[in-house]
Structure 1
């Protein structure tokens, strides 16, 4: 399997795991209030990224990699401040966010490098052309 393909697959499965974790955490496992809380809605932005990540769309991978940093921050903050199972779930969320972020960077990186190289070639080619006759 090609490394880019593997990175995209791991990113997609990590995103699914984060969606499942968000729903389970805020509804059943350790909700802020008994019976669940509206924090379960934090799964919606992740869910909106899922189709594009699953289809390996470059634009979606890019914005999802920035979005995931919010979930990493929440995981770290709640990991330090919460107690018991909620803290463990928070650290799990932070770890999944790091894995997703690393995989999206691994997937997007070669495309970015190729685009930068193509832009350099195009700039070099236009600068080496003779000026048009006056």
Structure 2
């Protein structure tokens, strides 16, 4: 693994771990008034972050790629809270920073590591050429 690929892997891992810790602290320690039950908070705020965590710990490029879909929920949450809840604005800013770090780290690692392992997608031109050859072979 090259050094820049390793850097993005650690950026993703540290940001993801930090986001799990930060959301847990924010929802269970820093917030005084809870409008939801602790079970709902755990299921809705913490569980989605735990789903891709094992794959990110293992350094799997595919998991890093789809973890970006999960982190977008937290980015939207952070932006919404930063705009709508002035009392929790700084908590949201930390969440946005961690989400950005995780998104950049996961995206770059998935791309770089996927290329190192030869997992890239074929170009459409090449795919069409192979499909045409298969079709013509089946016609004979």
For this structure pair, what is the TM-score category when the shorter chain's length is used for normalisation?
A: 0.7 to 0.9
CA distance in 1, matches of 2:24, 2:16: 13
CA distance in 2, matches of 1:117, 1:2: 26
The two structures, once aligned, show a CA RMSD in angstroms of 3.1
Matches within 5 A, 1:1-134: 2-33=3-34, 37=38, 38-41=40-43, 42-84=45-87, 86-110=88-112, 111=114, 115-116=120-121
- TM-score scaled by length of structure 2: 0.75
Pairwise CA distance, 1:101 = 0.6
CA distance in 2, matches of 1:105, 1:31: 35
- TM-score scaled by length of structure 1: 0.78
Q: Which has the higher contact order (CA 8 A, sep 6+)?
A: 2
CA distance in 2, matches of 1:9, 1:125: 38
CA distance in 1, matches of 2:103, 2:85: 24
Question: How many residues end up aligned between the 2 structures?
Answer: 131
